[in-house]
A and B are shown apart, each in its own frame.
Chain A
């Protein structure tokens, strides 16, 4: 028996998949925004998130005040 070919592991890109993918990326970018770019001026969280994740922000290479 020949070894099974290594087929690609992903589903074909359909409009529905693309929409789900964009929604997912949007949600994850919001999360990344809260970690890395929330300055308290734009969002409603005040400075708390900014200060809490302050060291991580600096060490992840994101600009900070």
Chain B
């Protein structure tokens, strides 16, 4: 038996580690695309008033623009701070979820439970929002709609978790009709998909990418973003699975301890 604090601290540590590595992945795969997007924005002129903070150099900036609050190199370092803190938060929440849900998961293996929970979290919290509202690089969004976009994004996140719950509930309900795995997987998957598709149809469409913005750059950035979150969740899942695993001492080891 582990205490609540013990379980959560493990989650925080795993989250920190996962966040730092996700930051490294994001730095390598994402930063070049962010720089490219900012270069496009700057070439576009002063039409975007929120672009002042994105300047890479003061000499290129028009005289009327303010000094950026955080320089580009500061933002690159801030990337690691952001992913690390986000990882800590996610890892801790994941650990709390594991503690509360562990007894409801029908596996005797704690590691499998952690991996299953991480997979569910990735699908619900990352994949479902991503497919409806794929993230955009800087210089693309309309600042006026930030509140609407944030609310819609959070809604997709909640709906993603609801869809996971619906899928699990439906697959357990379907288990009464037969032992075959395809029954449970099919019904569970159908319930999950139906929830997501219904939500996608109801939620507002947000298409703010200017027609002039290069599609290749846009999707390179989006895949870098998806990859960053995949790294984060994979490491949280496997890291927590490793840390929570109750290592049963082998016979020879207990003899060594006894000797």
Taking beta carbons and an 8 Å cutoff, which residues of A are in contact with B? 1, 3-13, 17-18, 20-21, 24-25, 28-29, 31-32, 34-37, 39, 47-48, 51-65
Contact = CB atoms under 8 A, between A and B. Distances in A.
A5 B108 contact: yes
B103 A13 contact: yes
Contact of A12 (B78, B103, B126): B103
21 contacts: A6-B246, A7-B1, A10-B103, A17-B99, A18-B100, A21-B99, A24-B8, A48-B70, A51-B75, A52-B70, A52-B81, A52-B82, A56-B26, A56-B86, A57-B82, A58-B221, A59-B34, A59-B83, A59-B228, A62-B153, A63-B135
Contacts of B79: 53, 55-56, 59
Interface residues of B, number: 66
Nearest to A4: B248
Given A10-B2, A58-B225, A25 B96 contact: yes
B190 interface: no
Given A8-B102, A31-B89, A63-B153, A58 B135 contact: yes
A24 B133 CA distance: 29
Of B4, B74, B129, chain A has the most CB atoms within 10 Å of the CB of B4
Nearest to A30: B89
Of B34, B100, B141, B244, chain A has the most CB atoms within 10 Å of the CB of B100
Given A10-B99, A59-B30, 14 more contacts: A6-B110, A7-B246, A10-B1, A11-B2, A24-B92, A31-B85, A51-B68, A52-B81, A52-B82, A57-B82, A59-B135, A59-B225, A60-B86, A63-B135
B137 A58 contact: yes
Interface stretch (B56-64, B142-150, B211-219): B142-150
B99 A64 contact: no
Interface in B210-259: 221, 224-226, 228-229, 244, 246, 248, 251
Given A24-B8, A39-B146, A48-B70, A54 B53 contact: yes
Contact of B78 (A9, A11, A56, A60): A56
A25 B93 contact: yes
A3 B197 CA distance: 46
B83 to A, nearest CB: 5
Contacts of A64: 136, 138, 141, 146
B110 A9 contact: yes
Nearest to B53: A51
Contacts of A21: 4, 96, 99-100
Given A11-B2, A25-B96, A37 B150 contact: yes
A64 to B, nearest CB: 6
Contact of A54 (B70, B90, B135): B70
A55 B30 contact: yes
Contacts of B225: 58-61
